[in-house]
Chains A and B, each alone.
Chain A
Amino acid sequence: MNNNILYRLDWWLILVYFLLVSFGIVNVYSATFNETLNGIFDISQPVGKQIFFLIFSLFVGLIILFINSKFFEQFATLGYLISMLLLAGLFLFGKTVSGATSWYNIAGLSLQPSELAKLTTALMIASLLSKFQSDLSTIPTLFKIGGYLFLPFILIVLQPDPGSALVFGSFFYPLFREGLNYVYMIIFFSILALFFVTLSFPIGIVIGIISLVIFLLYFILKNLNPKIKNWPFILSLILSIGFSFSVDYIFNNVFEQRHRDRINIVMGKEVDTQGVGYNINQSKIAIGSGGLKGKGFLEGTQTKGDFVPEQHTDYIFSTIGEEWGFRGSFFVILLFCLLIFRIIYQAEKQTNKFRRIYSYGVAGLIFTHFLINIGMSLGMVPTIGIPLPFVSYGGSSILAFSTMIFIHLNFDANRLNDW
């Protein structure tokens, strides 16, 4: 075993990481391009800031690589505490941008503590689950973990930044990997399915569908195992119907119109291309007009014309789609798949539970961002403003995700070293 960490690093993962961040900078440059740009290192322009943060992230990353892996496990609770305090402090010292108090303004740079919270929560959850007395099948453990997830969630919701808060749902994946009961998964996905079915069809048809599905399940399962009890079916039938009614009620009476609109657009119910659907529609036009080869770097008419709002942040994928076409978009999707697969593969090889759960959490976080962000740009997911990791403009985001990757790299490189 070579003692120099550089020989033990996973350079494939680092290559994928660098491809993503460089492509990100190229597209942020294009999306924010204007005549007044004084070179790419102009710190007053988004692309200059992005490069600054990238260099800073690499510097931090380098330090991380040389830190003993055990430090992170010990640091988890403190890190979590600090990030929660930072989130809470926003209510006192935060800067409000377009309605959400999500930033600290330090020396002209905006820092978003919710990005840091993603990292520290990943460490915290890993730390909690790796304790030998933790057992996911016990109610106290579930409650404990739920509490640690709920705290950042509620602090971020109150900013209000529901998009970022939603991301904390991605800890479902490491939990499930570590033995969360199937029932929770079934419930989780049933709720999701029921939610969309209820919004798509009139309530009468929904009840019909629910009854039909449960009856079929009942007959099939009863044939397989005649000893099965009847009450779980009746209970799930009642709960499902009750849920449908409440979703229907919540959607029509509790949700604000803008929430309803966002969901309706994705469901294809209303086509309002000038109002709420404007972003999604323009993003689809940008991507669709890219064709196979794209319009070329700095040649995107949608990008240059600022037709897609927030294009350098949440809608960066539309720039990629427009200027680099199907080939560029496919490339980005491929890179994300490689990144996630590689992290999961390496996590599975970990013998240390804390490090495995952490890496798995990172993979889950990246996947959730990937799913929501690109899905939104393609008009398949409601408008939820979260960045595309490594690619979107955003100093805190690139710093937090880079740190996550470098900690993972540290863990992976030191896999056989200790323990």
Chain B
Amino acid sequence: MIRRFFLPFVTLLTAIVFVGRLISLQLLNSSYKLLSDGNAVIENSIYPERGYIYDRNQKLLVSNQPVYDLMAIPENITLFDTLELSKILGVPKTELKKQIKTAKTFSVKLPSIIVGKISKEHNAVIQEKIWKYQGFFLQKNSVRNYPVPIASNLLGYVSEVNKNDMKRDNYYRLGELIGRQGIEEYYESFLRGRKGKKFFQKDRFNRIIGSYEEGKYDVPKEGAQNLILTIDSELQRYGEELLKNKRGGIVAIEPRTGEVLSLVSAPSYDPSILVGRKRSKNYRKLALDTLAKPLFDRGLQAQYAPGSPFKTINALVALQEGVIDDKTAYLCQKGHYYARGMFMECHCRPGTKNNLLSGIYRSCNTYFANTYRRIIDRAGENVGEGMNIWNSHLKSFGLGNYLGYDLPVGKKGFIPDADYYNYWYKKGGWKSATVVSNAIGQGELLTTPIQMANFTAAIANRGYYIQPHFLKSVSNGVLDKVYEKKTTSIDSIHFEKVIEGMFQVVERGTARVAKIRGVEVCGKTGTVENFMKIDGVKTQMTDHSIFIAFAPKDDPKIALAVYVENGYWGARWAAPIASLMVEKYLNGSVKRKWLEDRMLNGSLLAEYEKPYLGKPFVINE
């Protein structure tokens, strides 16, 4: 009996054990489902094409271009002529071998990049011959493209994220791109869009074998936005050309809207050198140029003494505080003693009597030194209060602080107040004569070119400015940003008198070179003393050349500040450049070819070399 039932019994027993095992594996244990998903599902990101950037006239500034990565699946590589391939690719043989070895250690079955970012042109050559090399193929990729080689610092560039980026924002994964500097950084989220997710089914070698559950869990990518900037690319290009072989910055603003028309920093570079295979090499070169500092945006980051253009603001403050009127006049004897033994020079002829108007167009130091001293001495109960009143008027022009514009870099500049001088001279240790340099925009004052352009716009507007900005609109039309209108603490009636002075600067004053036929230009020159430490010795360098301007006088369309480092004096470089910019912008073309040629071809490189030649040199010659 037992013999007959032995096999049926064992069979039944086995079946029961198997069913029990199946119950425990399939019905009671849910971890296997997760394990199989982890095995078989791969999540891939899909990226929207990065947004384009246009100028204010819809002219394309930044787009994308295809590049090609040479990929290889090590498993499929057969014996090949390394030397020939390295010649085709233009990559050293050892480098090629190293890359293939690295790819092998990563995976023999998955593709790795052997040579990245091959240009379209080079690709055509490689494409013809790549069939000979089994296991290699070209994969399309995308990098930034710059149809016009301008505004590199303003636009910024794109590169792969690093560890810090990923720590700061967990959106990013290794190998993804992020905007750096300028518009690319500031409007990263607009330009980037939002990546989508696609789930694929993979096999045991991680090869994709199809979509997972017909894409049920996929997340669609969200479109990137195209940006329309306030920049006028023609004006921008022109400004960059004018500053070629010089150092400095130009900031031009449309006064009525606060839209920045151009932001020029010189020296500059072609933005397309920061694209593709040579990006890191070129970037290092730019970053290591500590003399010319091409990555340093002089329009936003350079803090200079404002110089004589600052006299316009001092005049406005004095008028507002009622310490002068347009008839108040001072005698200038090629300068004046503002304290015992302390003489401030002026270029007025001896015996010139200047009122507000002529004080401005002759840029009389004597007139403004006295005016400034009146502000400090009379505006408040004491010099400290006077100083703070002056300081708060200045701040209402956006000086001494960031302007809130939409770029990631900037400097505050500096406007001194009573506390500052109390700290340096002790309370009561200073009087108006001590700080009289501020009258002519020297002394402790520091401003950036964009601040200068902004206060010029405020003068052009007769008392207000709109927060300067670079973004005009985005392609989907949604821009929940209202640019603040900021009113200065100066009543608008006072502006006309100063503006008339600025008009006369161009008509018959220090900057007649800036006159444009048929356009009423208002401006103010500046010549700023500056110093440099050479071998530890404070040495005076050739003066900076400055000019602020706006035009037309009664319906201002453009306000700008031009700063040319070591450009001798205001009317030599900055005023002509500013004038050409205005002419270009308002008339579309420039008639004064002689002036244009002089500016385009002029170079100050010799000036910049002086301190490094190790020889004695003269300045302002």
Q: Which of B25, B31, B40 has the most CB of A within 10 A?
A: B25
Q: Are B201 and A305 in contact (CB under 8 A)?
A: yes
Residue with the greatest number of chain B CB neighbours at <10 A, chosen from A305, A337, A380? A305
Q: Which residue of A lies closest to B10 (CB)?
A: A367
Binary B-proximity of A297-334 (CB < 8 A = 1, otherwise 0): 00001101111000000000000011001100110011
Complex: A364 Cα to B6 Cα, angstroms: 11
How many residues of chain B are within 8 Å of chain A by beta carbon?
36
A236 to B12, CA, bound (A): 31
Do A288 and B33 contact each other (CB < 8 Å), given the known contacts A301-B40, A374-B18? yes
In the complex, are the beta carbons of B33 and A321 less than 8 A apart? Answer: no
Q: Once the chains bind, are B18 and A285 in contact (CB under 8 Å)? A: no
Q: Does A289 contact B (CB under 8 A)?
A: yes
Specify which chain A residues have a CB less than 8 angstroms from the CB of B33 in the assembled complex. 288-289, 291
Whether B424 is near chain A, meaning CB under 8 Å from some CB there, is no
A287 touches B26 (CB 8 A): yes
Chain B proximity of A397: nearest CB distance (Å) = 20
Q: Is B291 an interface residue (CB 8 A)?
A: no
Residue of B whose beta carbon sits closest to that of A337: B15
Indicate if the CB atoms of B26 and A290 lie closer than 8 Å: yes
B202–A326 contact, CB under 8 A?
no
Is A286 positioned at the interface, with any CB of B under 8 Å from its CB?
yes
Query: Quick check: is B340 within 8 A (CB to CB) of the other chain?
Result: no
Chain B residues whose CB sits within 8 angstroms of the CB of A290 once the complex forms: 26
Known contacts: A179-B3, A287-B25. The answer to whether A305 contacts B32 by CB under 8 A is no
List residues of chain B with CB within 8 A of the CB of A287. 22, 25-26, 32
Whether A375 contacts B18 by the Cβ 8 Å rule is yes
Interchain CB contact under 8 A, B7 and A367? yes
- The interface bits of chain B over 1-41 (1 if a CB of A lies within 8 angstroms of the residue's CB, else 0) are 00110111011101101110111011101011101110111
Residues of A within 8 A of B41 (CB): 301
A336 contacts across to B, CB distance below 8 A: 11, 15
Residue of B with least CB distance to A326: B26
What's the least CB distance linking B201 to chain A, in Å? 6
* B209 CB–A CB distance under 8 Å: yes
Residue numbers in A under 8 Å from B201 (CB-CB): 301, 304-305
Shortest Cβ distance from B282 into chain A, in angstroms? 44
Judged by a CB distance under 8 angstroms, whether A251 is at the interface is no
Interface residue from A177, A330, A367 paired with B11 (Cβ < 8 Å): A367
**Nearest Cβ in chain A — how far from B13, in angstroms?**
10
A285 close to B39 (CB less than 8 A)? yes
With a cutoff of 8 Å between Cβ atoms, the chain B residues found around residue A364 in the complex are: 7
Contact across chains for B7 and A284 when beta carbons are under 8 A apart: no
Tell me whether B32 and A288 are in contact (CB under 8 A): yes
Residues in B with CB closer than 8 Å to A301 are 36-37, 39-41, 201, 212
Most central of B15, B201, B212 by chain A CB within 10 Å: B15
Say if the beta carbon of A165 comes within 8 Å of chain B: no
In the assembly, what is the distance between CA of A173 and CA of B84, in Å?
70
Q: With A291-B26, A329-B22 known to touch, is A304 a contact of B40 (CB < 8 Å)?
A: yes
Alpha-carbon distance between A75 and B595 when the two chains are bound, in angstroms: 117
In the bound complex, how far is the Cα of B27 from the Cα of A337, in angstroms? Answer: 22
Q: List chain A residues, Cβ under 8 A from B202.
A: 305
Given A307-B203, A360-B7, also A321-B40 (CB < 8 A): no
Instruction: Give min CB distance, B606 to chain A, whole Å.
Output: 69
Task: Check: B204 CB closer than 8 A to any chain A CB.
Answer: yes
With an 8 A cutoff between CB atoms, is A135 at the interface? no
Which residues, 155 to 196 on A, are CB-close (under 8 Å) to B?
Answer: 173, 176-179
* Cα(A370)–Cα(B19), bound, Å: 13
How far apart are the CA atoms of A173 and B209 in the complex, in Å? 46
Cα(A363)–Cα(B5), bound, Å: 13
Residues of A close to B23: CB separation below 8 A = 326
The residues of B that contact A179 with a CB separation of less than 8 Å are: 3
Q: Which of chain A's residues have a CB closer than 8 A to the CB of B6?
A: 173, 176-177
Report A-chain residues with C-beta under 8 Å of the C-beta of B15: 333-334, 336-337
Knowing A301-B40, A305-B209, the reply to whether A344 touches B22 (Cβ < 8 A) is no
Rounded to whole Å, the gap between the CB of B462 and the closest CB of chain A is 72
* Docked pose: A334 CA to B14 CA in angstroms: 11
| Cα of A131 to Cα of B21 in the assembled complex, Å | 43
Chain B residue at smallest Cβ distance from A299: B213
- CB proximity of A122 to chain B, nearest CB, Å: 14
Convert A341-373 into 0s and 1s, putting 1 for each residue whose CB lies closer than 8 angstroms to a CB of B. Answer: 100100010000000000010011001001100
**Smallest CB–CB gap between A344 and chain B, Å?**
6
Is the CB of A292 closer than 8 A to any CB of chain B? yes
| Binary contact track A364-396/B, C-beta < 8 Å → 1, others 0 | 100100110011001010000000000000000
Give the chain B neighbours of A288 by CB distance below 8 A.
25-26, 29, 31-33, 35-36
Could you tell me which residues of chain B, from 359 to 405, have a CB within 8 Å of some CB in chain A?
A: none
Asked whether A378 and B36 contact (CB < 8 A) given A287-B25, A290-B26, A306-B204, the answer is no
Contact A285 B36 (CB under 8 A): yes
Q: Would you call A31 an interface residue if the criterion is a C-beta within 8 Å of the partner chain's C-beta atoms?
A: no
A326 touches B27 (CB 8 A): yes
Q: How far is the CB of A273 from chain B (nearest CB, A)?
A: 10
Are B204 and A330 neighbours in the complex by a CB distance under 8 Å?
no
Chain B CB within 8 A of A340 CB: yes
Contacts of B39 in A (CB 8 A): 282, 285, 301-302, 305, 307
Residues of B within 8 A of A367 (CB): 7, 10-11, 14
A148 to B63, CA, bound (A): 82
List B contacts of A375 (CB < 8 A). Answer: 14, 18
A185: nearest chain-B partner, CB-CB:
B6
Residues of A within 8 A of B35 (CB): 285, 288-289
Q: Known contacts being A292-B26, A367-B14, is A380 close to B21, with CB within 8 Å? A: yes
- Chain A residues with Cβ below 8 Å from B31 are 288
Min CB distance, B1 to chain A, in Å?
Answer: 11
Smallest distance from the beta carbon of B39 to chain A beta carbons, Å?
6
Do B36 and A176 touch (CB < 8 A)? Answer: no
For A178, A302, A321, A363, which residue has the most chain B Cβ atoms within 10 angstroms?
Answer: A302
Q: Kindly supply a per-residue 1/0 record for chain A positions 260-302, scoring 1 wherever the CB is within 8 Å of any chain B CB and 0 otherwise.
A: 0000000000000000000000101111111110000000011
Find out whether the CB atom of B204 lies under 8 angstroms from the CB atom of A307: yes
**Chain A CB within 10 Å — which of B19, B26, B31, B41 has the most?**
B26
Residue of chain B at shortest CB distance from A309: B204
Name the residue among A289, A302, A306, A325 with the largest chain B CB count within 10 angstroms: A289
Nearest Cβ in chain B — how far from A339, in angstroms? 10
Is the pair A340, B8 in contact by a Cβ cutoff of 8 Å?
A: yes
CA distance A370 to B13 in the complex (A): 12
Q: How far is the CA of A289 from the CA of B3 in the complex (A)?
A: 40
Is A325 in contact with B203, judged by CB distance below 8 angstroms? no
Name the A residues within 8 Å of B8 (CB-CB).
340-341, 344
Q: Which B residues between 405 and 455 are near A, CB-CB below 8 angstroms?
A: none
Nearest CB of A to B26, in Å = 4
Determine the chain A residues whose CB is within 8 A of the CB of B4 once the complex forms: 177, 348
A370 and B7 alpha carbons, distance in the complex (Å): 13
If the complex has contacts A301-B39, A326-B23, are A341 and B203 also in contact, measured as CB distance less than 8 A? no
Give the shortest distance, in Å, between A266 (CB) and chain B (any CB).
12
Are B7 and A344 in contact, with the CB atoms below 8 A? yes
Q: Are A284 and B25 in contact (CB under 8 A)?
A: yes
Set B18, B27, B32, B203: member contacting A333, Cβ < 8 A: B18
A370 touches B36 (CB 8 A): no
A321 touches B26 (CB 8 A): yes
Given that A176-B6, A340-B8, A367-B14 are contacting pairs, would A304 and B203 also be in contact in the complex, using a CB cutoff of 8 Å?
A: yes
A-contact bits for B186-207, CB 8 A (1 contact / 0 none): 0000000000000001111000
Complex-state Cα separation, A348 to B7, whole angstroms = 12
Q: 3 tightest A-B contacts by CB?
A: A288-B32, A301-B40, A289-B36
Can you list 25 residue pairs at the A/B interface with Cβ under 8 Å?
A284-B32, A285-B39, A286-B36, A287-B32, A288-B25, A289-B33, A289-B35, A290-B26, A301-B212, A302-B40, A305-B209, A321-B22, A321-B26, A325-B26, A326-B22, A326-B23, A333-B19, A333-B22, A344-B8, A367-B7, A371-B14, A375-B18, A378-B18, A378-B21, A380-B17
Q: Other than A288-B36, A367-B7, give 7 A-B pairs with Cβ distance below 8 A.
A: A284-B25, A285-B32, A301-B39, A305-B209, A336-B15, A367-B11, A374-B18
